[in-house]
Amino acid sequence: MPRRNVPRSQRRRRPDIGGSTFSGATSRTEWGPSGAESERYTVRTVPGSRATKAYRCPGCDHEIAPGTPHVVAWPTDDIGGADERRHWHNGCWAGRGTRGPTRRWS
């Protein structure tokens, strides 16, 4: 049976499971790093192809080079929003329960 070409506007979308979608990326909510365990963070995964700038990881205080896949996390309930976003290495974010940020951001 041949495939039918259906315009994008008429395609059925699958429901988004596990987070909200904004600007083509899926976000999820997780517990914060050590020292902020009671705080919920919104987390978004950034693939290497979309990572175009260098960032400083708060977990290890090393640079995240352009082209490196990583995560972006910010407090869910905080009003600061974009000002509170931090870029973490995937491994540093995964190990956030045993170590907190290396320094306080102001």
pLDDT in tens, 33-91: 877 778 888 999 999 999 999 999 998 999 999 999 999 999 888 666 678 899 999 99
- Supply the pLDDT for residue 100: 64
pLDDT in tens, 3-25: 666 666 665 554 333 444 445 56
Domains contained in the chain, number: 1
Whether the per-residue pLDDT at 105 is higher than 70: the answer is no
- Identify whether 53 is part of a domain: yes
- SS3 of the chain: the string is CCCCCCCHHHCCCCCCCCCEEECCEEEEEEECCCCCCCCEEEEEEECHHHCCCCEECCCCCCEECCCCCEEEEEECCCCCHHHHCEEEEHHHHHCCCCCCCCCCCC
26, β-bridge pairs: 21
- Identify whether 33 is part of a domain: yes
Look up the domain containing 34 and give its range.
Answer: 25-94
- Identify whether 63 is part of a domain: yes
- Supply the pLDDT for residue 64: 96
